[in-house]
């Protein structure tokens, strides 16, 4: 299935958010580490949705810090300013999924343009990619900061579409977030939802064209 470019979500798709757990455990103890990471991520996304709906944009670094404060309070965990800063900085050190490097290398070897479209700020996204070693395998990194709206707002996908200068049907979009896959499908991209955890299918339509468990499967779909 031929495409000219492959657009990747970053956090949770190329970079493993669960790799925060080690740092969180070192700061607050291991007992609540996994739960804190999940609550932190859920609230981070909820605040992104809310800020877009309210038309009161705040960048993802700000929302990440606010979401951390909520998660700490919800779990009745105390953390001083230094600990909070250390936890937020852990987003720069997220580990790449093992299949991320392989997939990006495979697409590059086939002459496909590979880019990231992220809710993250440009500085955080680029630093995280550099630390992960994935930066050299991507041609561009684009942030919602440019439109001051968060995915799945169509303006975000339009940003990538304009930059690539292609019909949406010639662009593959890959995300591990079901709501992101739905939003990109509604925009018209050819979407692969990388459902690593085997989560239940989203019931909001339109569904993604492809549901896979690994990025290697994405390569097989879009490598022609």
Residue 116 bridge partners (DSSP): 8, 141
The C-alpha atoms of residue 210 and residue 205 are separated, in whole angstroms, by 13
3-state helix, strand, coil in the chain (%, to 5): 55, 15, 30
Residue 120: its H or E element: none
| Residue position matching structure tokens 């579409």 | 161
**Contact assessment for residue 119 and residue 60, using Cβ atoms and an 8 Å cutoff:** yes
**Contact assessment for residue 194 and residue 218, using Cβ atoms and an 8 Å cutoff:** yes
Q: Which of 9, 16, 59, 99 is catalytic?
A: 9
Max distance between CA atoms of the chain, in angstroms, equals 52
Nearest alpha-carbon partner for 155 in 207, 197, 119: 119
Active site annotation includes 4: no
Pairing outcome for strands 15-16 and 95-96: antiparallel
Task: Tell the burial category of 136 from Cβ atoms under 10 Å away from its Cβ (0-12, 13-18, 19+).
Answer: exposed
Active-site annotation, residues:
9
């Amino acid at each position: 299935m031929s495409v000219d470019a492959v657009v990747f979500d970053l956090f949770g798709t190329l970079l493993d958010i669960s790799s925060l757990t080690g740092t969180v455990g070192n700061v607050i103890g291991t007992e609540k580490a996994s739960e804190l990471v999940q609550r932190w991520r859920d609230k981070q996304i909820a605040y992104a949705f809310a800020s877009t709906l309210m038309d009161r944009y705040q960048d993802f670094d700000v929302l990440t810090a606010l979401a951390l404060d909520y998660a700490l309070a919800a779990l009745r965990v105390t953390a001083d300013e230094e600990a909070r800063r250390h936890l937020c900085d852990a987003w720069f050190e997220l580990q790449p999924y093992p299949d991320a490097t392989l997939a990006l290398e495979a697409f590059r070897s086939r002459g496909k343009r590979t880019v990231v479209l992220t809710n993250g700020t440009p500085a955080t996204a680029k630093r995280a990619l550099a630390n992960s070693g994935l930066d050299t395998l991507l041609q561009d990194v684009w942030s919602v900061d440019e439109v001051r709206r968060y995915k799945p707002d169509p303006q975000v996908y339009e940003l990538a579409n304009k930059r690539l200068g292609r019909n949406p049907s010639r662009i593959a979009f890959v995300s591990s977030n079901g709501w992101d896959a739905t939003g990109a499908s509604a925009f018209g991209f050819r979407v692969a939802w990388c459902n690593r955890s085997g989560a239940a299918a989203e019931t909001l339509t339109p569904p993604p064209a492809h549901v896979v468990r690994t990025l290697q499967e994405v390569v097989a779909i879009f490598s022609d």
